[in-house]
Structure 1
Amino acid sequence: MPVVNRIADFAEDMKTWRRHLHTIPELGFDLPETSAFVAERLRAFGVDELHEGIAQTGMVAIINGQGIGPTIGLRADMDALPIPEGTGVDYASTKVGKMHACGHDGHMVMLLGAAKYLAETRNFCGRVALIFQPAEEAGGGAGVMVDEGIMDRFDIGEVYGIHNAPGLPAGDFLTTSGALMAAVDEFHINIQGLGGHGAMPHETRDPVMAACGIAQAIQTIVSRNHYALQDLVISVTQIHTGTTDNVIPDTAYINGTVRTFDPEVQAMVMTRMQEIVDGQAASYGVEAKLAYELGYPATINHADKAAFAVGVAREVSGDSHVEAEGRREMGAEDFSYMLQARPGAYLFLGQGESAGLHHPKYDFNDEIAPIGASFFARLVERSQALR
């Protein structure tokens, strides 16, 4: 079954909503204009309940079906990124230094399209909980909503989400059973040495050389301390030190990211990184302090729910346009917190060739919004079919 006809009928409305949202990007938990627009649309559609102010600007809308049944959760993220827009489109961001460079404007519209259809038809039993979440890019808004009790408060039994995927053919779906996206951690290393004249390094304890040594040694965790067939990425992404050519500075700072799937691998990285920092600091005669911060956990699909979602995706896009056991990736997603709280699945929806996610020239492909909305709608109707 292709795109739902009724959803196709209001595809132009969805495009209008999406492009308006694109003009008003907001960051983190502070989404007053975005959440107000979403709430206005949901009220216009006639949802039965609208609960606002969850995780500051998040909300959950309830649509009742026909008769008693379970509650299925559908999630869309709402926040943008602190990136100056470079698309040149006539609906570009009106907020300097902010843009929807990850397609969350499209994610909101796909869920809004499903909401409009489901509120009209109610061809399901039980309830659907529409989860509009702030702070996916930073802040873990999904975890905050879970901590504030949405799963129990609204009796959500299972939960699903989708994300657009540049480079994947438009309308194609990709997911996998089990781990789909990695856990993401970050590390900060502050080095305290003794600065001095660049011509007299023997009178200093050089933090620059220590930073170089630590950064290089950290890479041996990947190459020498873990099994090569287990996915692991450690990237040093910042080294800050010094001010001019003839001064050895007092301090240096190192920052980076760690991506894992296995908690045992994650624990090994934490242990080895501390050992390396301590050992390298001693060898260079400096002091070094490691701050290792746990971030979003791995996004792990529940196998039976992933299989169910794949079946629905095949109804919408066709068998040849759905990859059920795709390659997992090292990116991260805070939907992982919702999957820790309830069974469910997360899928990618291809948006065709475009600039990549988090690029200043990225723009969501409006042609795939009815596909995503149809997927969400069919999930509800298949999971909670009328009997």
Structure 2
Amino acid sequence: MPVLNRIADFAEEMKGWRRYLHQHPELEFDCHETAGFIVERLHEIGVDEIHAGIARTGVVAIINGTGEGPTIGLRADMDALPIEELTGADHASTIPGKMHACGHDGHVTMLLGAAKYLAETRRFKGRVALLFQPAEEDGGGGNVMVQEGVMDRFGITEVYGIHNAPGMPLGYFQTNGGALMASVDTAFVYVTGKGGHAATPHDCVDPIVAVVAMVQAVQTIITRNVYALDEVVISVTQIHAGTASNIIPEEAMFCATIRCFNPEVRKLLKKRFHEIVEGHAAAFGVTARVEYDWGYPATVNHPAQAAFAAEVAREVSGDAAVNAEAPREMGSEDFSYMLEVRPGAYLFMGMGPGAGLHHPAYDFNDEAAPIGASFFARLVERALPL
């Protein structure tokens, strides 16, 4: 793989950055130490501007090219997950109950590597805006950065991002020119009946029976309300009720994740979910409260930018290692908010074999960091040629 020679020269330094970040994971918007580490490296690299405290702990850095031109945005997420690490690695998390199980430590490292190269060479016109974003896993930090005006403030005209993909061959790239990842909404349903002795259910109003019926019925939204070719997922992921074998509880709850690609279908799913819960509550004589969290929108690439990013990926990894017509998937990403306001593209990059994302045995493959950094660097040089 033609990793840029200069980036290959500091691959060991990048490994050190990544492993330090892996040992010091932080959650959501509380990425204070992570941001501090990034700012220190950016000062050493010699970028032209550093703006901290965006979206609480986000960082935006500017590298000026040689001559006037537009500004390309490159994004890396920073936050970790509330998982106890089981890798057994020497560089494992030092923070109990927190780990980089999604590879955001690697994403930061790739962007820092590209920054080091671009600040040294400056073989491009215009500017690069490096977007280090907190709270991708939970909190929608991408949306907060957009709402705080980073696109207009820094004159960003296009924006690009990468996510690592364990199980995909090392250095292999996948993307497409449209919807790549689904929207995600979350529903919490709280059902209240009348508790009592399990031996006398006629004196009670059982919330468990109502919840079971609701859980079964919401699946009919997919089979009977949605066109068969519109991909939809409704997965009930939690049910909580009861404290003993001989007590009918007063309350029960369940939680569901709801995913799709079509905005009109998304509205329909919410409408039918409420109708089914309310109708079953009336039928079973319970009360029900729905908290419906309208989450990340679908991640939709812009065709021209996705095609361009695929060309750059082919330059880095070769024609056979790039799939520019990858199928969309039901995962979600808050990079979607950036793509709603600026043209750009999101890609997956292979890590080789290993544990999957969000698994306690996951670890980013350090051999991938120079590849991702080379992709970012060449994307800038190709998009903003001298």
Q: What is the TM-score of this pair, normalised by structure 1?
A: 0.99
Moved more, 372-381 or 275-284: 275-284
Deviations 1:123-160 (A, max 9, x none): 00000000000000000001101111100000000000
Shift of 1:172: 0.2
**What are the residue-to-residue correspondences of 1:173-252 with 2, within 5 Å?**
173-252=173-252
Whether 2:141 is the aligned partner of 1:141: answer: yes
What secondary structure is seen at the aligned counterpart in 2 of 1:120?
helix
Q: Give, in whole Å, the separation in 2 of the partners of 1:91 and 1:53.
A: 28
Q: Distance in 1 between matches of 2:188 and 2:41?
A: 43
Partner of 1:60: 60
Q: For the residues of structure 2 that align with 1:49 and 1:320, how far apart are their CA atoms?
A: 38
Distance 2:249 2:284 in 1: 14
Query: 1:44: which partner in 2?
Result: 44
Give the whole-Å Cα distance in 1 for the aligned partners of 2:197 and 2:115: 66
Q: Which residue of 1 aligns with 2:318?
A: 318
CA distance in 2, matches of 1:26, 1:188: 26
- Distance in 2, Cα, partners of 1:333 & 1:66: 33
Partner of 1:257: 257
Give the 4+ runs in structure 1 shifted more than 2 A. none
Structure 2 unaligned spans of 5+: none
| Overall identity of the aligned pairs, in % | 67
Q: Indicate whether 1:103 and 2:103 are aligned.
A: yes
Using the alignment, how far apart are the partners of 2:290 and 2:135 within structure 1? 26
Query: Is 1:83 the counterpart of 2:64 in the alignment?
Result: no
Q: What is the CA-CA distance between 1:298 and the residue it aligns to?
A: 0.4
- After TM superposition, the structure 1 = structure 2 runs for residues 323-338 of structure 1, keeping only pairs within 5 Å, are 323-338=323-338
Secondary structure in 2 aligned to 1:116? helix
Q: Distance in 2 between matches of 1:27 and 1:346?
A: 23
Q: Which letter maps to 1:99?
A: M
| Equivalent AA in structure 1 for residue 201 of structure 2 | P
Distance across 1 between alignment mates of 2:266 and 2:153: 33
List per-residue Cα deviations over 1:255-284 (Å, max 9, x = no partner).
110001001111111111111111111111
Distance 1:134 1:285 in 2: 44
| SS of aligned partner of 2:271 | helix
Which residue is equivalent to 2:372?
372
* Secondary structure of 1:352's aligned partner: coil
Partner residue, 1:340: 340
Query: What is the CA–CA distance in structure 1 between the aligned matches of 2:284 and 2:228, rounded to whole Å?
Result: 30
| Alpha-carbon distance between aligned partners in 1 of 2:143 and 2:273, rounded to the nearest angstrom | 27
Q: Which residue of 2 is the match for residue 166 of structure 1?
A: 166
* 1:258-277 correspondence runs (5 A): 258-277=258-277
CA offset digits 1:215-244 (Å, max 9, x no partner): 000111112111111110001111111110
Tell me the residue number matched to 1:154.
154
Distance 1:365 1:244 in 2: 47
SS in 1 for 2:380: helix
Deviation at 1:48, TM superposition (A): 0.4
Between 30-39 and 118-127, the greater mean CA deviation after superposition: 30-39
**What SS does the aligned partner of 1:315 have?**
helix
How big is each residue's C-alpha offset from its partner over 1:83-137, in whole Å with a ceiling of 9 and x where there is no partner?
Answer: 0110000011111110000000000000000000000000000000000000000
| Amino acid paired to 2:279 | G
Amino acid in the other structure paired with 2:276: I
Question: What amino acid sits opposite 2:187 in the alignment?
Answer: F
Greater mean alpha carbon deviation, residues 220-229 or residues 344-353: 220-229
